[in-house]
């Protein structure tokens, strides 16, 4: 039986261009010959915006819908006002394709440096809700430019949206050896949203008696992520808390250059999108300094999502070996790391 992957590729802005090139290099190197890889590149981001004023049109969404999956580098550029591309492209796409499971694994691989004392066991996954919370654009500004300006950014939380992501997180916890799930929220202050999350978390938990649960306020979670990261197995949390704690999770487990993510539509109704957790890093863009590992690991998540478990594991092993060998060696360019990984996955 012939197999194929029809992939939408969105390099985007800044280092997105550099790291996606490496991701594709590794993808081509790892796939068996009988798998036909078709890629179509899209120019979303600052270039498209400056040329046309567009971020993501309905026609673009129609085209993207035809693919099996999407690989994204990063979106956002200092030449475009903050929020225009982030909301107008990235969030619009995540919402349009109902990417409600934003999956962000963190694993401290052997030999990889962490700013934490000792070499703690870090191996957890954050299931970040991806379509609701304070991200929906449910707000506004009045009296702009006056001393009485008012801005609101209302967090939207639906029972439907919470329940589906919470159930997904329980299922992931159930499938892992430690079977632990933590709900991270702020139900001591955000009592409306927080209690809806907590009630649903407890109710869905009745279906998963083997999963051990705990609740933690998000501020305390930031303490434990630093002092006891080994405590975590699966974390489920809302969109904004998930955004913040996954940058922290990246920082403790090898850095933002190795943090991968998947924006998953579990039903398959729309293609899922895989991207590094990091952004376009304008401070290092164009200098060959970006670590492509996060994108390469995102390619592994993409392959696993499409059923290519062996190839996904090969990529993860290659990145792990590459990271372990870095200690004490001079820094390599983005391209050099990509080349080394391509050799490893092919061999």
Ligand X SMILES: CC(C)[C@H](C(=O)O)[C@@H](O)C(=O)O
What's 121's DSSP letter?
-
**What is the chain's Cα-based Rg?**
20
Phi-psi group of 113: left, alpha or beta (phi > 0 → left; psi -120 to 50 → alpha; rest → beta): beta
Pick the catalytic residue: 49, 92, 107, 135?
Answer: 135
Coil/strand/helix, residue 194:
helix
Minimum Å distance from CB 301 to ligand NAD?
Answer: 14
Please, are residues 33 and 97 in contact by the beta-carbon 8 Å criterion?
A: no
Minimum Å distance from CB 298 to ligand X?
Answer: 11
Is residue 135 annotated as a catalytic residue, yes or no? yes
Please, are residues 197 and 183 in contact by the beta-carbon 8 Å criterion?
A: yes
Is residue 247 annotated as a catalytic residue, yes or no? yes
Coil/strand/helix, residue 123:
strand
CB-wise, 125 or 204, nearer to ligand X?
A: 125
User: Is residue 91 close enough to count as binding ligand X by CB under 6 A?
Assistant: yes
Minimum Å distance from CB 71 to ligand NAD?
Answer: 12
Q: Which stretch binds ligand X (CB under 6 A): 49-57, 86-94, 187-195, 228-236?
A: 86-94
Pick the catalytic residue: 233, 243, 270, 322?
Answer: 243
CB-wise, 22 or 263, nearer to ligand X?
A: 263
Q: Which stretch binds ligand NAD (CB under 6 A): 171-179, 194-202, 214-222, 279-287?
A: 279-287
Q: What is the DSSP string of 281-295?
A: -TTTTTTT---THHH
Tell me the C-alpha to C-alpha distance, in Å, between residue 174 and each of 91, 170, 178, 298. Answer: 30, 6, 8, 23
Tell me the C-alpha to C-alpha distance, in Å, between residue 167 and each of 39, 260, 284. Answer: 33, 22, 39
User: Is residue 13 close enough to count as binding ligand X by CB under 6 A?
Assistant: no
**What is the C-alpha to C-alpha distance for residues 234 and 232, in angstroms, rounded to an integer?**
6
User: Is residue 278 close enough to count as binding ligand NAD by CB under 6 A?
Assistant: yes
296 binds, among ligand NAD, ligand X, Mg ion, none (CB under 5 to 8 A by kind): none
**Half-sphere exposure (Cβ direction) of 178: Cα atoms closer than 13 Å:** 15
Minimum Å distance from CB 65 to ligand X?
Answer: 21
Q: Which stretch binds ligand NAD (CB under 6 A): 59-67, 115-123, 219-227, 278-286?
A: 278-286
Is residue 215 annotated as a catalytic residue, yes or no? no
CB-wise, 45 or 76, nearer to ligand X?
A: 76
| Closest CA relative to residue 57, chosen from 99, 32, 88, 97 | 88
Please, are residues 240 and 109 in contact by the beta-carbon 8 Å criterion?
A: no
Of residues 270-289, those binding ligand X (CB under 6 A):
277, 279
- Please tell me whether 339 is known to bind a ligand: no
Q: Which two tokens stand for residue 269?
A: 């109704």
What length does the chain have?
Answer: 347
Of residues 216-255, those binding ligand X (CB under 6 A):
243
Summarize the annotated binding site for Mg(2+) as residue ranges. 219, 243, 247
Binding residues for ligand NAD, rule: CB under 6 A, are 15, 19, 74-76, 86, 90, 256-257, 275, 278-284, 290-291, 294
Annotated binding site: 94, 104, 128, 219, 243, 247, 279-291
> Catalytic residues, which ones?
135, 186, 219, 243, 247
- Residue ranges for the known binding site for substrate are 94, 104, 128, 219
């Amino acid at each position: 039986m012939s197999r194929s992957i029809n992939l939408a590729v969105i390099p985007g802005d800044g280092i997105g261009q550099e790291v996606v090139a490496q991701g594709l290099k590794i993808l081509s190197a790892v796939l068996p010959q009988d798998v036909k890889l078709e890629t179509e590149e899209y120019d979303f981001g600052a270039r498209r915006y400056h040329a046309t004023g567009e971020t993501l049109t309905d026609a673009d969404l129609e085209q993207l819908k035809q693919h099996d999956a999407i690989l994204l580098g990063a979106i956002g550029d200092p030449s475009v006002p903050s929020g225009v591309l982030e909301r107008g492209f990235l969030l619009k796409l995540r919402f349009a394709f109902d990417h409600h499971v934003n999956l962000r694994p963190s694993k401290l691989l052997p030999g990889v440096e962490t700013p934490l004392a000792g070499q703690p066991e870090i191996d957890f996954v954050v299931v970040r809700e991806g379509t609701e919370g304070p991200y929906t654009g449910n707000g506004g500004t009045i009296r702009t430019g006056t001393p009485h300006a008012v801005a609101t950014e209302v967090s939207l939380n639906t029972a439907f949206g919470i329940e589906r992501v919470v159930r997904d997180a329980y299922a992931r916890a159930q499938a892992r050896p430690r079977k632990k799930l933590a709900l991270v929220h702020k139900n001591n202050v955000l009592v409306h949203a927080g209690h809806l999350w907590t009630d649903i978390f407890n109710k869905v938990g009745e279906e998963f008696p083997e999963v051990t649960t705990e609740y933690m306020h998000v501020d305390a979670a930031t303490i434990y992520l630093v002092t006891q990261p080994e405590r975590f197995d699966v974390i489920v949390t809302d969109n904004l808390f998930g955004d913040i704690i996954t940058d922290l999770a990246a920082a403790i487990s090898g850095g933002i250059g190795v943090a991968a993510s998947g924006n998953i539509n579990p039903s398959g109704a729309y293609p899922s999108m895989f991207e590094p957790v990091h952004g376009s890093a304008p401070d290092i863009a164009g200098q060959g300094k970006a670590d492509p590992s996060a994108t390469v690991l995102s390619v592994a998540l993409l392959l696993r999502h499409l059923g290519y478990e062996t190839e996904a594991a090969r990529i993860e092993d290659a990145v792990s070996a590459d990271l372990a060998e870095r200690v004490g060696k001079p820094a390599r360019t983005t391209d050099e790391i990509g080349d080394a990984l391509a050799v490893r996955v092919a061999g």
